[in-house]
Amino acid sequence: MQSAPPKATLRIQIRISLSSLAMFLLKAWRSTAFGVYGYLNFTKSGFLEHSKNFNPEDMARRIDGKNCVVTGANSGIGYATAHGLASRGATVYMVCRNKERGEDAVSKIQSSTSNRNVHLEVCDLSSVHDIKSFTSRFKEKDIPVHVLVNNAGLLENTRVITSEGNELNFAVNVLGTYCMTELMLPLLEKSQPDARVITVASGGMYTAPLTTDLQFNSGEFSGLEQYARNKRVQVALTEKWAEKYGDKGIGFYAMHPGWAETPGVAKSLAGFSKSLEGKLRTSEEGADTVIWLALQPKEKLVSGGFYFDRAEASKHLPFAATKSSHDAIDSIVDTLNSFL
Ligand X SMILES: NC(=O)c1ccc[n+]([C@@H]2O[C@H](COP(=O)([O-])OP(=O)(O)OC[C@H]3O[C@@H](n4cnc5c(N)ncnc54)[C@H](OP(=O)(O)O)[C@@H]3O)[C@@H](O)[C@H]2O)c1
Answer yes or no whether residue 152 interacts with ligand X by CB under 6 A: yes
Question: What gap in Å lies between CA 1 and CA 332, rounded to an integer?
Answer: 76
Q: How far is CA 183 from CA 16, 57, 101, 132, in A?
A: 47, 34, 25, 8
H/E stretch holding 268: helix 263-268
Residue with Cβ nearer ligand X (154 or 198): 154
Answer yes or no whether residue 97 interacts with ligand X by CB under 6 A: yes
Cβ 159 to ligand X, closest distance in Å? 16
Which region, judged by CB under 6 A, interacts with ligand X, from 12-20, 123-131, 235-243, 317-325? 123-131
Q: 256: closest CA among 318, 307, 206, 312?
A: 307
307 is catalytic: no
Answer yes or no whether residue 202 interacts with ligand X by CB under 6 A: yes
Answer yes or no whether residue 324 interacts with ligand X by CB under 6 A: no
- Residues with Cβ < 8 Å from 242, sequence gap 6 or more? 251, 252, 303, 304
Answer yes or no whether residue 113 interacts with ligand X by CB under 6 A: no
Which region, judged by CB under 6 A, interacts with ligand X, from 67-75, 106-114, 240-248, 305-313? 67-75
Answer yes or no whether residue 109 interacts with ligand X by CB under 6 A: no
Annotated catalytic residue, options 178, 206, 227, 253: 227
Residue with Cβ nearer ligand X (257 or 305): 257
Answer yes or no whether residue 291 interacts with ligand X by CB under 6 A: no
Answer yes or no whether residue 209 interacts with ligand X by CB under 6 A: no
Cβ 73 to ligand X, closest distance in Å? 6
Residue with Cβ nearer ligand X (61 or 101): 101
Question: What gap in Å lies between CA 286 and CA 182, rounded to an integer?
Answer: 26
Question: What gap in Å lies between CA 269 and CA 223, rounded to an integer?
Answer: 11
Answer yes or no whether residue 38 interacts with ligand X by CB under 6 A: no
Helical axes 329-337 vs 223-244, angle rounded to 10°: 90
Q: Are residues 192 and 138 in contact, defined by beta-carbon separation less than 8 angstroms?
A: no
Burial 55-77 (b: 16+ CB within 10 A, else e): eeeeeeeebeebbbbbbbbbbbb
In a 13 Å sphere around the CA of 134, the CA atoms on its Cβ side amount to: 26
Answer yes or no whether residue 74 interacts with ligand X by CB under 6 A: yes
Answer yes or no whether residue 44 interacts with ligand X by CB under 6 A: no
Which region, judged by CB under 6 A, interacts with ligand X, from 209-217, 241-249, 256-264, 307-315? 256-264
Q: Are residues 160 and 167 in contact, defined by beta-carbon separation less than 8 angstroms?
A: yes
Answer yes or no whether residue 257 interacts with ligand X by CB under 6 A: yes
Which region, judged by CB under 6 A, interacts with ligand X, from 84-92, 106-114, 149-157, 215-223? 149-157
Among 43, 46, 69, 72, binds ligand X (CB under 6 A): 72
Question: What gap in Å lies between CA 90 and CA 171, rounded to an integer?
Answer: 29
Q: Give all strands (DSSP E) within the chain, no chain letters.
A: 67-71, 91-96, 118-122, 147-150, 195-200, 250-256, 306-308, 311-312
Which residues from 263-282 bind ligand X, rule CB under 6 A?
Answer: 263-265
Tell me the backbone φ, ψ of residue 214, rounded to 5 degrees.
-65, -30
Answer yes or no whether residue 75 interacts with ligand X by CB under 6 A: yes
Answer yes or no whether residue 207 interacts with ligand X by CB under 6 A: no
Among 38, 46, 84, 153, binds ligand X (CB under 6 A): 153
Count of residues that interact with ligand X, criterion CB under 6 A: 27
Give the per-residue contact string, 171-190, with ligand X (x = CB under 6 A; - = no). -x------------------
> What type of residue sits at position 104?
D
* Residues annotated as part of the active site: 227
Interface positions with ligand X (CB under 6 A):
72, 74-78, 97-98, 101, 124-126, 151-154, 172, 200, 202, 257, 259-260, 262-265, 286
